[in-house]
Chains A and B, each alone.
Chain A
């Protein structure tokens, strides 16, 4: 039983990192990028391919996934950061669609719908952390805590304040002589690298990967976490990732719904949460409404 909770918590930890990385580009820098899941997926595929074909281990893959996702993001950013608002949102949503189609079609690289099987389980330094759910959870907890600590520092840093300033008033930031393009690009690259690390963690934890990682449902899950947690709200996002991925997504399995209603019931809860949050707590459910 307790192992089951650890397995859920491990997935929730991974999504916490993804949500926080999205929080960096969307919440802090205000880039409404609907394709963030691309970087998660690229990280996962990078780790899966590097591990199964070239034998890179878990720890190396974390770094390589970050590097590859970050590199892709810099190209992606140079192309898309000229766009604003809804144009950016739809173009990036489109990029996610393209990524999924490419993963599906490029059989030589991704094995397409057959998926990549036999990815090594996460382990570092030889035999430590080999084994079952608890060791994996501890390992992932350590990695997540480290990453989140640095991210939190970043949120508090002058650079974080600059991003917030750009989000709230771009013209003012330009007026005081800030290079906002560079700041946005860095925010995107960093957040993509972080999502890439989470992707690598996901691939090694699941040990099987297929193109469903780029699906629309994952994008919606991510938006859900960040909206419920509150844009730019650091701890709110940690809580909402655990609430949504750890509790709500698995809860219907324990309630005796008729099977035909299972998926629909879960989605109705998600939809209700999204709408209610926007109505009563638009800055996240953990944040009181501004009077």
Chain B
């Protein structure tokens, strides 16, 4: 038995490489396994492509950049362990991520305590705003997504909407503002993460005969089966989605089936196509030989990385996390792939959502009728 222990310890220690002085090392926490892995792996691929490109063009502070990826599994406990490793073993000054709010909130205390910058490009939970001095968010808060859909639905004069939420942090913050802002009648249903059968819920909704359906999930797996069963239940009303549908072609073929009858409208990150964004997507395509999914998230994440790099250039020392923090709080009108933005006193980039409509191939911005 002792042998086994020694072996394990030996592997454990030999696995830890000494920090390489040559490279600038950043950490990233993303869900690389589990229900949100599809999104996490896509963001990882994009970061790898970015780093490759940067290093080919001279790197940063005349050194190469390296990103150490850790799996957060969308789980706060796992994300905490990942943050511990990044902070204590790899000694990174900056962590990019997490993707899901539980990841970000799990990692935040470790980052804050050790004065390491944590910048998420996706998490929408309200409580990230006051999670700490070193915690930044380059993404809109989830609750504004609910608001624009509610405003649009009210403007269209829809009397009754069925609202179906996944019991996850992001959908719940969307739901909260939707309930506050929509004037019509709401028929609400919730489901636990990982649900794969919606027949009952759909039967209930059809029986209520609402004017529209707002589907508000977090994970792809539920999304796809919900749409499939909705088609089979011959649903024919207006559809609303939160932003998880945008840039997610796996779902598009399902949505097409509804288009003859009605619109599909989603709240998406307010990203106006621009040259920087095109460049990011091109780099992804050259690296991986296929177009990127979740484009709006990629744009956000690209900007988070470049914010950090800009800060490092300013301080001249990648380990001066207080300098980086002060730089970030001072960011105004930063022009990035996701548009122009500033960072407020909570460390939020104050981004917003806009409405997009499915045109048969992609969700695109459209003119709202007032």
**A residues within 8 Å of B by Cβ?**
1, 3-4, 7-8, 11, 101, 104-105, 107, 112-115, 117, 132-133, 206-210, 212-213, 243, 247-251, 253-255, 259-260, 262-264, 285-286
Q: Are B85's CB and A105's CB within 8 A?
A: no
State how many angstroms separate the Cβ of A169 from the closest Cβ of chain B.
30
Does residue B89 face the partner (Cβ distance < 8 Å to A)?
Answer: yes
Asked if A264 meets B33 with Cβ closer than 8 Å, knowing A206-B106, A247-B8, A259-B41, the reply is yes
CB neighbours (8 Å) of A259 from chain B are 32-33, 41, 44, 69, 71
B101 CB contacts on chain A under 8 angstroms:
114
Q: Which residues of A contact B85 (CB under 8 A)?
A: 4, 250, 253
Q: What is the chain B residue whose CB lies nearest that of A11?
A: B81
Query: Counting CB contacts under 8 A, is B168 at the interface?
Result: yes
20 pairs of residues in contact across A and B, judged by CB atoms under 8 Å: A1-B16, A4-B84, A8-B81, A101-B192, A104-B192, A112-B167, A113-B102, A113-B193, A114-B173, A115-B169, A117-B105, A117-B131, A208-B109, A210-B76, A243-B8, A250-B81, A253-B85, A259-B32, A260-B37, A262-B33
A113-B102, A259-B71, A260-B37 known; 10 other A-B pairs, CB under 8 Å?
A4-B85, A117-B105, A206-B76, A212-B76, A212-B102, A247-B8, A254-B16, A260-B33, A260-B41, A264-B33
| A197 to B127 CA separation, bound complex (whole angstroms) | 27
Query: Which residues of A are found within 8 Å of B8, using beta-carbon distances?
Result: 243, 247-248, 251
Q: Which B86-111 residues have C-beta < 8 A from chain A? A: 88-89, 101-102, 105-106, 108-109
Whether A104 lies near B71 (C-beta < 8 A) is: no
Task: Give the 6 A-B residue pairs with the shortest CB-CB distance, closest first.
Answer: A254-B15, A263-B33, A4-B88, A259-B32, A7-B84, A207-B109
**CB-nearest residue of chain B to A133:** B88
How far is the CB of B96 from the nearest CB of chain A, in Å?
15
Q: Is the interface of B mostly helix, strand, loop or mixed?
A: helix
CA distance A143 to B230 in the complex (A): 54
Which residues of chain A are within 8 angstroms of B9 by Cβ–Cβ distance?
247
B236 at the interface (CB under 8 A from A): no
Which among B11, B76, B101 has the greatest number of chain A C-beta atoms within 10 A?
Answer: B76
A-B contact count (CB 8 A): 107
> Which residues of the other chain, A, contact B76 by a CB distance below 8 angstroms?
115, 206, 208-210, 212
Q: Which residues of A contact B192 (CB under 8 A)?
A: 101, 104
Question: Which residue of the partner chain B has the closest CB to A249?
Answer: B81
Contact of B82 with A by CB under 8 A:
yes
Q: How far is the CB of A280 from chain B (nearest CB, A)?
A: 13
B1 touching A285, Cβ below 8 Å = yes
Is there a chain A Cβ closer than 8 Å to B249's Cβ?
no
B190 in contact (CB, < 8 A): yes
B73-A263 in contact (CB<8A): yes
Contact of B5 with A113 in the complex, beta carbons under 8 Å: no
Residue of B nearest to A267 (CB): B33
Among residues of B, the one whose C-beta sits closest to the C-beta of A207 is B109
Taking CB atoms, residues of chain B closer than 8 Å to A243 are: 5, 8
Is the beta-carbon distance between B11 and A113 smaller than 8 angstroms? Answer: no
Q: Mark B109-141, 1 if CB is under 8 A from A, else 0.
A: 100010000000000010100010000000000
In the bound assembly, the distance between CA atoms of A107 and B175 in angstroms comes to 13
CA distance A115 to B70 in the complex (A): 22
Q: Is B77 an interface residue (CB 8 A)?
A: yes
Q: Is the CB of A114 within 8 A of B125?
A: yes
**What residues of chain A lie closer than 8 Å to B11, measured between beta carbons?**
251, 254-255
B contact residues around A3 at 8 Å (CB) = 88
Q: Pick from B9, B11, B105 the residue with the most CB of A within 10 Å.
A: B105
Rounded to whole Å, the gap between the CB of B172 and the closest CB of chain A is 6
Interface centre among A3, A115, A213, A255 (most CB of B within 10 A): A115
- A262 to B108 CA separation, bound complex (whole angstroms): 23
- Partner of A113 from the list B1, B37, B108, B167 (CB cut-off 8 Å) is B167
Is the Cβ of A208 less than 8 Å from the Cβ of B71? no
Contact with A along B169-188 (1 / 0, CB 8 A): 10011000000000000000
B80 adjacent to chain A (CB < 8 Å): yes
B291 at the interface (CB under 8 A from A): no
